[in-house]
Amino acid sequence: MNKKIKQISLVLVFFFLLSTFYSALAIEKISPDPKGIDLLNSLLAALSIEDEEKRLNAVIPLVHKSLLTSDGKDLDNDIKPYSYKKAYENAGCYKQPVEIYEVHKGNTTTIGYGPTAEKGRTDKYFINKKEGVAGRPAPIHIFWPADGGDPKVVNMGSL
């Protein structure tokens, strides 16, 4: 019985590793969209503003409505003290204008909930750091609305 369990465990591990390998191959790399590059340049410029209120006011129009408070005038409490804070603290580590390392095409999905729900695709734009700054390129998630609206940032916490 114990030998049978070991054999089954080995088969499961093998299939797990095989599926992980094929998942990595399934990532579709695409060319950066000029609108995505413009959005990222605007985001890094906004995050680099020293004045806290001006910085926040510059960032709000660039992010998806699901990251905002219900009145749309501030970042949500789950975003502001965490990913937003990390992003503005580290924005200076990245090349401006942005230099795109690569783009991973996302799948069609719906983000948000209730009044903020929106269908579209979220791509990962990996941006390069400045020369001499250690670390890998950071992924910024950009949402492309299915209705053709302007792209918006949905995750900036990797900066």
At 101-130, the pLDDT tens digits run: 999 999 999 999 898 899 999 999 999 999
pLDDT at 21: 57
Is residue 26 predicted with pLDDT exceeding 80? no
Is residue 131 predicted with pLDDT exceeding 90? yes
Q: Compute the half-sphere exposure of residue 99: CA atoms within 13 Å on the CB side of its CA.
A: 10
Closest CA to 96 of 150, 49, 52: 49
User: What confidence category does residue 24 fall into, taking pLDDT thresholds of 50, 70 and 90?
Assistant: low
User: pTM of this prediction?
Assistant: 0.83
Q: Compute the half-sphere exposure of residue 84: CA atoms within 13 Å on the CB side of its CA.
A: 20
Report whether 142 contacts 121 (CB < 8 A): no
